[in-house]
Amino acid sequence: MQPPLGFLLNVGAVAAGGAIGASLRFLTSAALHRVLLVYPGAATLLVNVVGSLLIGLVLGGLPPAWLSDRVRMFLVTGILGGLTTFSSLAWETVSMSQTHSERWLGVAHLAANLVLGLAAVVAGELIARAIRGSVA
């Protein structure tokens, strides 16, 4: 029995979005690593905050009619899932705590990602609601 075409299209949308998101993450890391050598977690912080803002915007208030379920899968599960990363955050937090003379840097990095990420989700949701309210 073959899976239905809709399911295969959803898988393809997520896979295509994931490739885009992962590529954006790699490019962000490469660019920031050259500029911000003093803070090795800058790229993770940036992609996690931007991704949090965008997920808040997409899932937090844009009218469902604006984006089909497949487009939401492409954007959220695919692009934003490939862009943001918890495993890198965990590794960087532990690594910074173990290798820097100032051990608090790992905890500060984790706190910055959590606080700014949560704030970005709320900001994205508020932006989406404002857009939705101005259009309605």
pLDDT band with cut points at 50, 70 and 90 for residue 111: very high
Global pTM?
Answer: 0.76
**Into how many domains does the chain fold?**
1
Query: How far apart are alpha carbons 128 and 133 in whole angstroms?
Result: 8
Tens of pLDDT, residue by residue over 2-59, are 789 999 999 999 999 999 999 999 999 999 988 887 788 889 899 999 999 998 888 8
Q: In 21-127, where do the E strands start and end?
A: none
Q: Residue 103: which domain range?
A: 5-135
Nearest to 13, CA basis, from 68, 84, 83, 58: 68
Do 87 and 20 touch, CB atoms closer than 8 A?
Answer: no
pLDDT band with cut points at 50, 70 and 90 for residue 135: low
Tens of pLDDT, residue by residue over 63-98, are 777 888 999 999 989 999 999 978 778 888 888 888
